[in-house]
Chain A
Amino acid sequence: MAALKPILLVEDNPNDIELTLAALESSQLANEIVICRDGAEALDFIYRRGTHERRRQQDPAVVLLDLKLPKVDGLEVLAKVKGDPDTRGIPVVMLTSSREETDVVRSYNLGVNAFVVKPVAFDEFFAAIREIGVFWALLNEPPPHRGGWPSNA
């Protein structure tokens, strides 16, 4: 049986990482949670290059993507993933502090699957993360894999 797909969390702020992990923890998902600290690393993971070259060929169940990131920012990562036919099927959820309308509009134009403004209130935040995790990791049926034959490498 295929292993559970990992959840990719792209976030540079350690506080946010910790809080998000705490929230995901409470949802009791079994998926592995991979953390990338900037956009470049996130792309390396998705495309299995650099430090992630040797990982299993398996798309993440969902990418939780912060908007403001060092090196390559969230919108660029989103554009790359959604602009590539091979990775377009990966669900991407923008998880950000931004309440700017322009960010929302641009994200949807780039093909984001959901845009979530992290609420200030803790309960709402926890609920949101839990729901996102459960929905995308468990309930959502991703499109069939179209990446060709699995590599034997």
Chain B
Amino acid sequence: MNRASDTTQHIDLTACDREPIHIVGSVQPHGFLLALDARTLVVAQASANAPVAASAGAALENAFPELAALARRYLDAGGELDGAQYLRTVTLGSGATRQAYEIAAHRVDDLLVLELEETDDASGEAGFDALNPRLRAFVQRLHTAPSVEDLCQLLAADIRHITGFDRALVYRFDRDWHGTVLAEDGNGVLPSYLDLRFPASDIPAQARELYRRNRLRIIPDAGYAPVPIRPATTPSGKPLDLSQSVLRSVSPVHVEYMRNMGTMASMSVSILVDGALWGLVSCHNGLPKRVPLQARNACDFLTQVFALQLSAKVRGEQAEQRLALSAVQARLLGFMAEEDSFVDGLFNHPNDVLALVNASGAAVVTADRCRLLGSAPPEREVRALYEWLSARGEAEDVFVTEALAEEFPRAQGIADRASGLLAISVSKRYASYILWFRPEVVRTVKWGGNPVKAARPGPEGGPDRLHPRKSFETWKETLKGRSLPWSLPEVEAAKDLRASVLGIVLRRAEELAAMSEELQRSNKELEAFSYSVSHDLRAPFRHIVGYANLLKNRESPNLTEKGRHYVDTIIEAALSAGTLVDNLLTFSQMGRHALNKVSGDLNALVEEVRRRVIRDVAPDRTVRWEVGPLGRVYADPAMLRLVIENLLSNAVKYSRDEAAAVIEVGRLPPHDGEAVFFVRDNGVGFDMAYVDKLFGVFQRLHRVEEFEGTGIGLANVRRIVERHGGRTWAESRLGEGATFYFTLPVREEAN
């Protein structure tokens, strides 16, 4: 439909714009024109068919005293009304030259322009009253018309009835200024144009501007010979501006166009909604036809009432849609506010997301995520679309199209899902978009003749002169790759949602900032706490152990066997309490300290830890170590050492009752992007029923007198591994040993 971009069309329009239709310098012959000095009422210009008495230079006072009186009254009343104003009907001359005229007046700069249009009926004064009941009935029915099309139908019928034309059309412009006939009323003399489209070039830009300024035009006889205005220029040396003129001669192109349509008389009334040209009422007659001024005024009035009603109806429909959409929007807002991520809020309520703009599919796309909803194109295509949108880099927050492939040709492949696109940018910095899609709606439009061909200059036209098309035969065209258009309230709903999302994102950011401040504060407190634990809690345990040992070593002879047993118990208890404090401190340090990851040889680390661990192995034990190739890992060596230390000393500890302990350390093939390591022993093992408790803080599966320990070691292992992005688990059977696994992400592995 966007034929304005067609090269042929473009040339055509440019040429048409050169037609100076508002200063043609001539009038139609069904009346005459006088341009008078507004102060002296001396005739400055007159059309060649004006009475000789009113030629240029004559004083109107002398030529037609009654006209002069009318003119004075008009000027005294201000005479500044936009457009020509009907003054009254007068009869000039006598006998054979006696003629009734309808007088219209308007101002052009310092000139007063009087136009005297011949009329058959001297009793035209009564016309308006005669039409009054009809107008009233029209207004009544307008109120009850259910749709815009019905309104248009009413208008076409009434205007044809008032004027008696063979056919009346109500014609609406689209966004590209192509016209579509929405309603038609006719008597069958002329062909029906209902539903036909007419290309924008039929009514070029400067004609549309004239239509906007001068609401009503009439051509009683397309076969007329134009009457020149003399002299050709006003006293200030310019051609007379005829934009407000009722007798203005029209472009020869237009007259030829009329003849091609088989119409000898025409009248058109502009439909202005909020000051903009919405459409036209276009009336035609097969034979020449005059329409009395009163009837024309009635048509103008009807059309204005219609425009008001139309505007109210459109606004009402939009308001209704806005109301419906705002209810959806309010719900979505609530959902988004409830969830941690606004995206979840949207995706948990897909129906509302789609209903917000009446879309059939949607997507939320960020640099690393793409979530689809409803009938959306495949992710690959959405990604491509996202790249294209981001690359546009324009400052627009909302992108709307009903023909995506025209702007993004790759979208031809997804026309069935995404011919229409409504996109809002949620974050420029992180390039996030919410996209809504509408499917292709294949439409067949009927043009009044091939719109492309018609725009070409005819062979008999000169290089500058355009030739209107001669054929009005219906020319069908199928529009593909287009969706139903997005309405204003829908686009606004999307914009509002964008504002809400930005608000939520902003609030989230503030909350996060506050939370991180709070976390920092509590982390500091925790640090202070563990600092004093480190200093003040360890000391008393050390003292207890120290003094108890002194007692045992130095005062032993003074103690009974029982006393020595008591001292030993004190030492053991205090020692384990001290160890517990140490382990707790390690545990809290694991969480607080930053990871300092470097790449290193895990076999070297295991060997170092192993040497240390075997120092604690009772000399009478034999342990066979089987350490496989472990490769290099990317981890914090100090923390990973704790992991290995815990696992190896556990393996040693829980296998101590085995005559031939075997401890195995190895690496499994990578799985799901993870390197899997294990430490296996053939010791006492554990009951898998308790496997979930194994890695918890203070969780022990054995009695203290069986195996010493604080129950923090494996909690430390899990904590460290998880901080590295890995996982821990264990497998065992009572009495058959245990295997502890931990993983580290492979992608971070530095080779």
Contacts and interface: CB of A to CB of B under 8 A. Distances in A.
Interface of A: 13, 15-16, 19, 22, 67-68, 96-101, 118-123, 125-126
B585 interface: yes
B548 A97 contact: no
A13 B542 CA distance: 12
Give 6 nearest A-B pairs by CB, closest first: A120-B578, A122-B549, A19-B546, A15-B543, A97-B538, A122-B545
Contacts of B547: 15, 19
B622 interface: no
Contact of B535 (A98, A119, A120, A122): A98
Contact of A13 (B539, B571, B574, B593): B539
Given A121-B578, A125-B542, 7 more contacts: A16-B542, A97-B536, A97-B538, A98-B534, A100-B530, A122-B545, A122-B550
5 contacts: A19-B543, A22-B546, A97-B538, A101-B589, A122-B548
Given A19-B547, A120-B575, A97 B582 contact: no
B549 A120 contact: no
Interface string B459-487: 00000000000000000000000000000
B326 interface: no
B579 interface: yes
Contacts of A19: 542-543, 546-547, 550
Nearest to B586: A99
Most buried by B among A19, A22, A99, A126: A99
B541 interface: yes
A98 B536 CA distance: 9
Contacts of B128: none
A99 B584 CA distance: 11
B550 A22 contact: yes
Nearest to A96: B535
B531 interface: yes
Q: Is the interface of B mostly helix, strand, loop or mixed?
A: helix
Contacts of A123: 549
For A22, A96, A120, A122, the residue with the greatest tally of chain B CB atoms inside 10 Å of its CB is A120
A120 B579 CA distance: 7
Interface in B117-136: none
A96 B542 CA distance: 11
A40 to B, nearest CB: 20
B582 A99 contact: yes
Contacts of B550: 19, 22, 122
Interface of B: 530-531, 534-536, 538-539, 541-543, 545-550, 571, 574-575, 578-579, 581-582, 585, 589, 593
Given A22-B550, A98-B534, A121 B539 contact: no
Contact of B541 (A13, A96, A120): A120
Q: Which residue, B538, B581, B585, has most C-beta atoms of chain A within 10 A?
A: B538
Contact of B546 (A96, A100, A101, A125): A125
**Candidate in A15, A96, A97 with the most chain B CB atoms within 10 angstroms:** A97
Nearest to B574: A120
A45 to B, nearest CB: 24
Nearest to B576: A120
A104 B541 CA distance: 21
Contact of A99 (B545, B546, B579, B585): B585
Given A15-B546, A101-B589, A120 B538 contact: yes
A96 B546 CA distance: 15
Nearest to A14: B543
A26 B574 CA distance: 23
Nearest to B541: A120
Contact of A100 (B531, B539, B575, B582): B531
A122 B534 contact: no
Contacts of B542: 16, 19, 97, 118-120, 125
Given A16-B543, A19-B546, A99 B534 contact: yes
A126 B582 CA distance: 19
Contacts of A16: 539, 542-543
A120 B589 contact: no
B593 A101 contact: yes
A53 to B, nearest CB: 32
A62 B667 CA distance: 49
A105 to B, nearest CB: 12
A97 B539 contact: yes
Contacts of A100: 530-531, 534
Nearest to B550: A22
A68 B548 contact: no
A73 to B, nearest CB: 11
A97 B534 contact: yes
A69 to B, nearest CB: 11
A13 B543 CA distance: 10
A101 B571 CA distance: 27
